[in-house]
């Protein structure tokens, strides 16, 4: 009952504050900061952070419900909200008491926004090969390098940067928090994208950027592990956003089929199209169940959670994108027009098969888990 109330709260908020503006935000490339502060007032800014410093103290399953609901109104906004939550959790789970006390009271109400910086122009799927360096200089690190495809870049206030403080490989990577106005931090041009137009995506550049060592999260060399733990939850979150896109697209197709007529009959009367709806529903529900299982796996501390999260992300993002594509087909030519939102759900959900680890990498992770279990009874 409690989770249903959380879900209903998120859907009501989406219907009132998100869905009516989705197409305008996309068309005019508006980053809806005011909406985020309203969402944070409901506890959506630090959903699974502890309550001590302003977090909501909810579960990963609760977060999945919330992100799916908000994505029915705007996939892009829900996706950024999920990234902000991931950053807040990384600080809450790894930061010192001083770091938590400083940042969480600002991130939870979303009075300050956060971005996650892992990908580089030369290291995407091979994240452990990142080149951005953080050289020790007394009580400071001096950062040089760049990060690519950073959501919210330039409009957000805090950047969680994975950088090399040691030797090559994952054990030489640390996580450092960089504030927006730090000298030596700059941003590239806003990228022109197929979707996700309601949030800016830019390169983040570091040129002799001096950051206090007190801004490091966890011990030196622990950054790659922290980044991967963050991505486990991020994969559930982004899969939840795909659920929202598919959910909204399925409902839109159902409503369109009830009013559109061809050959003297409503589209809903054609059995072939009824079968399409049934198959879309099967894709959505199977994806939803797998995503919820992955969220519960994280909540329970299951050691097998990374593989379950990868499997959920792989299945849900691909199946839900197909639901959006099928829905557009059911709209016929109208589905291709910008006046109808189904095309935006398709555009905004396509990148979910790429980010938080490409689906090719998800296949690798799942396959390794299966092979590793071959000797199990």
pLDDT tens, residue by residue, 299-308: 999 999 999 9
Nearest-angstrom CA–CA distance, 370 and 377: 13
Token pair for 169: 């490989």
Query: Band of the pLDDT at 143, cuts 50, 70, 90?
Result: very high
pLDDT at res. 374: 77
Least confident of 123-127, 174-178, 215-219, 284-288: 123-127
If residue 147 lies in a helix (H) or strand (E), which one and from where to where? Answer: strand 140-151
pLDDT (average), residues 107-135: 96
Cross-strand pairs, 261: 266
pLDDT tens, residue by residue, 157-178: 999 999 999 999 999 999 999 9
Domains belonging to the chain, first-starting first, are 1-112 (1.10.540.10), 115-220 (2.40.110.10), 224-375 (1.20.140.10)
Q: Is the model's pLDDT at 377 over the cut of 70?
A: no
pLDDT (average), residues 215-233: 97
Q: Is the model's pLDDT at 375 over the cut of 70?
A: no
pLDDT tens, residue by residue, 177-190: 999 999 999 999 99
pLDDT at res. 285: 98
Q: Is the model's pLDDT at 140 over the cut of 80?
A: yes
Please give the mean pLDDT across all residues of the chain: 97
pLDDT at res. 209: 98
Token pair for 110: 């979303």
Is 356 labeled as catalytic in the residue annotation?
yes
Which of 17, 120, 203, 356 is catalytic? The answer is 356
pLDDT (average), residues 23-33: 98
pLDDT (average), residues 340-354: 98
Q: How are beta strands 261-262 and 265-266 bridged, if at all? A: antiparallel
pLDDT tens, residue by residue, 229-269: 999 999 999 999 999 999 999 999 999 999 999 999 999 99
List of residues 6+ apart from 186 with CB closer than 8 A: 204, 205, 207
* Residues belonging to the chain: 377
């Amino acid at each position: 009952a409690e989770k249903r109330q959380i879900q209903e709260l998120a859907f009501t908020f989406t219907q009132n504050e998100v869905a009516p503006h989705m197409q305008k935000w996309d068309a005019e490339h508006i980053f809806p900061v005011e909406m985020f502060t309203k969402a944070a007032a409901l506890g959506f800014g630090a959903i699974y952070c502890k309550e001590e410093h302003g977090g909501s103290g909810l579960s990963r399953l609760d977060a999945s419900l919330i992100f799916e609901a908000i994505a029915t109104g705007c996939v892009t906004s829900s996706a950024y909200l999920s990234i902000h939550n991931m950053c807040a959790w990384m600080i809450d789970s790894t930061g010192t008491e001083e770091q938590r006390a400083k940042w969480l009271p600002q991130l939870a109400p979303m009075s300050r926004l956060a971005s996650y910086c892992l990908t580089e122009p030369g290291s995407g799927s091979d994240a452990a090969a990142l080149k951005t360096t953080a050289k020790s200089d007394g009580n400071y690190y001096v950062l040089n390098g760049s990060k690519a495809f950073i959501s919210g870049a330039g409009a957000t206030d805090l950047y969680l940067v994975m950088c090399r403080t040691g030797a090559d490989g994952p054990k030489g990577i640390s996580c450092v928090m960089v504030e927006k106005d730090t000298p030596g931090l700059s941003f590239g041009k806003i990228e022109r994208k197929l979707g996700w137009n309601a949030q800016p995506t830019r390169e983040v550049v570091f040129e002799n950027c001096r950051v206090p060592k007190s801004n490091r999260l966890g011990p030196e060399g622990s950054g790659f592990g922290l980044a991967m733990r963050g991505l486990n939850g991020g994969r559930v979150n982004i899969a939840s956003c795909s659920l929202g896109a598919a959910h909204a697209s399925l409902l839109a197709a159902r409503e369109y089929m009830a009013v559109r007529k061809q050959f003297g009959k409503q589209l809903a009367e054609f059995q072939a199209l009824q079968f399409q709806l049934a198959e879309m529903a099967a894709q959505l529900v199977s994806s939803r169940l797998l995503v919820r299982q992955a969220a519960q796996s994280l909540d329970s501390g299951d050691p097998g959670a990374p593989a379950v999260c990868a499997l959920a992300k792989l299945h849900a993002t691909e199946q839900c994108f197909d639901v959006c594509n099928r829905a557009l087909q059911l709209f016929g030519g109208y589905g291709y027009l910008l006046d109808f939102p189904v095309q935006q759900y398709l555009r905004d959900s396509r990148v979910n098969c790429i980010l938080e680890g490409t689906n090719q990498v998800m296949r690798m992770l799942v396959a390794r888990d299966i092979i590793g279990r071959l000797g199990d009874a």
